[in-house]
Amino acid sequence: MNAHPERLVLTEEPPAPNRLRAATGEGWTSGSVFRLLRKSGLDLTLLGLLIYITVIITLRLPGGNIAVIVGAVGLIFSRHKLVVPAYLWWLLAFVIWDAIGVPFSALPSASEDHATGLAKIWVISLLAVNALRTPSRLTVYATVFLLAFLTHPLRSVFLNFARGVGVNGRYAANGEFANPN
C-alpha cells in the first residue's frame, strides 16, 4: 500500500526539561524534592520565610513572629547583597509617615496597630524579595505555599469524618455543602 514506509516513521522528541515527565517516569519523588532543596541553597532567610508562610496559612501553628526573626537573622548573616527595590523604599516612607502620625491620631491604639501591621508587611516583603532570588527557590516556596493551602481542607475533611459530620454520607471541608447550587 505504501511505497515509502520511512516517511511514516515518527521520531520521538525528548520531553521538555521544564515539564513533569510522566512518560519517562520522572516526576515528583522524595529524591527530586530533596534535590530541589539542595539546589535552592536553603538558608535561614528562605527557611524563615517558608516557616512563616506555613504558620500563617495553616492558622493552627504558633510561631509567625519567631519565623520572621529567623528570616531577619538570615538576612543579617547572608553572604548575598541585600536587595531593597524601589517599592520597598516607598513602603518604608509610608510606614515612617504612619508612625509619625500615630500620636496625633484620634484613635492612637488603632493607628498603632495599623503602623505595626505595615511595618510587619515591610519586613516580610524584604524577606521575600531577598529569599526568592532564583527559580529553584521560587519553586520551593510555591510548593510549600500549595501544601500549606492543602492542609486546611484536608484537616477539615478528616475531622468531619472522625466526628461523623457529613451530608448524605459525604464528608467535606466546613461549609462546603452549605450552598445547594
Give the tens place of pLDDT for each residue, 130-166: 999 888 888 889 988 988 888 777 777 777 778 777 7
Residue 62 is predicted with a pLDDT of 79
pTM greater than 0.75 (yes/no): no
**Whole-angstrom Cα distance, residue 102 to residue 114?**
9
CA-to-CA separations, 61 to 23, 54, 64, 66, 102, in angstroms, rounded: 39, 8, 8, 12, 31
Cα distance from N-terminal residue to C-terminal residue, the chain: 57
Confidence class for position 118, pLDDT limits 50, 70, 90 = very high
Q: Is 29 left (phi over 0), alpha (psi -120 to 50) or beta?
A: beta
Closest CA to 157 of 143, 142, 147, 167: 167
Query: 127 and 43 in contact (C-beta within 8 Å)?
Result: no
